[in-house]
Each structure stands twice: as C-alpha cells, then as structure tokens.
Amino acid sequence: MTLPEKCDKVPVGLISGFVLPFLVALVSFLVAKGHPSLHIWLHKISEANIVTHVITLSVFPNILIFLFFNHFDMLKASKGVLGATIFWAVIVFATYFLL
C-alpha cells in the first residue's frame, strides 16, 4: 500500500484542513509588528475589526492542500479538506454578521 493510498481518508483531510489554518494564524502572530503577546494581538485584530480577514487569510492555504490531494487522486482526503473549509466559511460568516 503506497503512501497516497494510506493517507486517502476523510479524517486526514479534515485534520489537515483544521490544523493548517491554525498554523498560518500562528505564523502571522509570530511575525506581527512589535511582537505583542497573544492577548494583545487578539485585542488589536478585534479592535481593528479585521477578525474575519485574519480567519479568511488563515484558511486560504487550504486551497493548496485541496489541490495537492486532488493532484494525487486522493479524493477522500480532498473531501475532508473541503468539509473543513466549509466549516471555516460558516465561522467567517457567523463572525462577520454577529460581531
């Protein structure tokens, strides 16, 4: 059984679709100007009213892993990434309209 066959599972796609946005948000926090603490950084993005922008930019790299899974014909994993991305889209819409 090859590696793509082993990884072609919906949970693999779901996990990667949820973990990658957190890693991208962590990187954007780490490169933030002035090296603020996490609490201050969250307060600044909330105060600037860009929470939805930060979430959207963090989820954007899911396109890359979706295309990667599609390229290697790992359609079950692609389905998981798509499900995670739809979940993130619902979070963005809820945050935009409720905050």
Model pLDDT for residues 56-99, shown as the tens digit of each residue: 999 999 999 999 999 999 999 999 999 999 999 999 999 989 87
**pTM of the full structure:** 0.87
Provide the residue range defining the domain that includes 13.
9-98
The answer to whether residue 56 sits within a structural domain is yes
The answer to whether residue 21 sits within a structural domain is yes
Return the higher-pLDDT residue of 1 and 42.
Answer: 42
Q: What pLDDT was estimated at residue 12?
A: 95
Distance CA 15, CA 26 (A): 17
The answer to whether residue 4 sits within a structural domain is no
Rg of the chain taking only CA atoms, in angstroms: 16
The model's confidence at residue 34, banded by pLDDT at 50, 70 and 90, is confident
Work out how many domains the chain is built from and give that number: 1
**Chain CA centroid to CA 12, Å:** 14
Selection from 95, 96, 60, 99 nearest residue 81 by Cα: 60
